[in-house]
Structure 1
């Protein structure tokens, strides 16, 4: 940890952008103290803020990682087709009901990416479901029947078929 100082002169007559810079700085740093001083420089009036703050390499790295994580949040409504997104919402509701009953974390049941893949591929068998990354024997044993039933009911209503076998044939 290192203590540092930063000076913010803010003109009294139009503080706008300078004030925003100060507020942004204050909200993103660990502040120790703030001193303010009125300054009259040849008829130009300022309030000068002296900010003492702590810098911490790890804190800066964590802030950077948090910003990166926020940027990597995926909006599946934009990625999935309207039809796939409707199924996605049904699967999320089912997953939430499992979570409410068992207190198993949502991501441990199926993460959002896995649910999106299920919606895109529309598996009709346990073998097809198991082709999705991260879906192993445990998830198949616990949740496959319910997921396949939801997918099957939705697909029969919307006339969409299992795409996992179609993709496999295309690759061969």
Structure 2
């Protein structure tokens, strides 16, 4: 029984560690090119950002609600990569995040920010929605209803910026 518990805990730790990955801008862009018929909803957040932590459940709900639709929720942590083991992985485990979680692995975070969207000041939270290589960027915190309505409207082509 004791060995079974140890095996379970090791499996759980591996699953959480495997879920949090370092990613470069090039790798993230390559991730989008895989799904031409997929809508990607990227939330840029950090473990130390109060508004980010508040809205994370809305992105998780979006992932759950659209589980069988071609919509992918990707959570991109802007925490320093040196904080992956000490901050990000424990945070993901504590909050039971199920979405794909990446941590930026770029030497110049400002260059990364500029490549995501030229209008992005770097403030968090921020969200990028990619549909058929069309990118729409939001530098704001969402409520659950706002996020759900936005994604529905964008997927159906009813969104007017």
Give TM-score, length-normalised by structure 2.
0.22
**Which has the larger Rg?**
1
Which protein has greater RCO, CA pairs closer than 8 Å, 6+ apart? 2
